[in-house]
Structure 1
Amino acid sequence: MESEVQKDEGLTIEQYAKAKGELEKTWRGRGIDWFLQDLARWANDMSLTFGITLHTPAGIVSGTVISHETYFKEFANQFAGPWAGESEDLVRKMITSLGEPIPANDKPDSNFQFIHLKEAQFYAPGQNPMPAKGVLWRGKISSVSSFNLGCFSPA
């Protein structure tokens, strides 16, 4: 069996899922969840947004998945805010350029290493969510130990 699942437009959904499952078996324990990478890729390719809760060594992070392009645009706007005039525009353009869409010819073999959230909140036992309003968050997929769909809300 090949070590990678090659993108083949002729694959059925069932064949693709079986090939991904076989690939997952060969990579089990290597620390990166291929399905979470696919979710990050779909957020980028299709501009999908959806609630997710991630479990990391630092704790629980919950928010809305966004594309890397959206993340860098929003980050640039927040970061450039304190500067005025030409400096603001320069800083905004510099940061926004980091989130340019991935060229189509680079996508088939690309494995996303980061996932981006907006309105992210952090949860610890017995504590209120931090911060109350939520923030932009960028995390390494390899640092996520588990996840579930939907945003966390304490009882």
Structure 2
Amino acid sequence: MSGSAKDSILEMLTHAANKHDFSLDITLNMKGSLITGTLVSAREYFEEMSGKFEGGNDLSKAISEKLLDASKQNVEQAEDVTFIHLKNTRIYCGDSKPTPSKSEFLWRGRLDQTDGFFIGKISED
């Protein structure tokens, strides 16, 4: 997809994740890379990100609070679907091994930058 066009099916799935805490294993094609993981709500994404900054210095705590605020705002603005959020993510570029090799990180990308998708997650197992 080019410009600001969004795939209506992917937008619907992302909206379902944001509005109804729906999750789904999915793989996205973005600019020649495959991004594979589990679709989650923006709220869950920001809450998990916030947790990664808890317990640190004052700056870390401030970042954690901002991310928690973002999670609450995204619940209120669930109708506006601009970003897609994945957890347990791996990124494949060409025939190389995925980055990271363990799929334990969170990923956020623009929905209008997605070239295609399929239901299911690429597994190394």
Pairing of 1:54-65 with structure 2 (within 5 A): 54-65=28-39
Number of aligned pairs? 121
Return the alpha-carbon distance in structure 1 between the equivalents of residues 111 and 65 of structure 2: 26
Return the alpha-carbon distance in structure 2 between the equivalents of residues 81 and 46 of structure 1: 26
Cα distance change, pair 124–93 in 1 and its aligned pair in 2 (3 A)? same
Amino acid at match of 1:152: I
1:120 to 74, 89, 94: 89
2:56 to 68, 83, 87: 83
1:36 to 10, 24, 32: 10
- Deviation, structure 1 residue 127: 1.2
- Deviation, structure 1 residue 81: 4.5
Percent identity between matched residues is 26
Q: TM-score, normalised by structure 2?
A: 0.84
Contact 2:55 2:61 in 1 (8 A): no
Cα-to-partner distance string for 1:45-80 (whole Å, 9 max, x where unaligned): 1111110000001511000011000101111122x1
Contact 1:37 1:111 in 2 (8 A): no
- Deviation, structure 1 residue 154: 5.5
Return the alpha-carbon distance in structure 2 between the equivalents of residues 131 and 39 of structure 1: 25
- Deviation, structure 1 residue 90: 2.9
- Deviation, structure 1 residue 87: 4.4
Q: TM-score, normalised by structure 1?
A: 0.69
Cα distance change, pair 81–132 in 1 and its aligned pair in 2 (3 A)? farther
Residue 137 of structure 1 pairs with residue 107 of structure 2: yes
The higher radius of gyration belongs to 1
Contact 1:43 1:49 in 2 (8 A): yes
Aligned-residue RMSD, C-alpha? 2.3
State the partner residue of 2:65: 93
Return the alpha-carbon distance in structure 1 between the equivalents of residues 9 and 97 of structure 2: 30
Amino acid at match of 1:95: L
State the partner residue of 1:102: 75
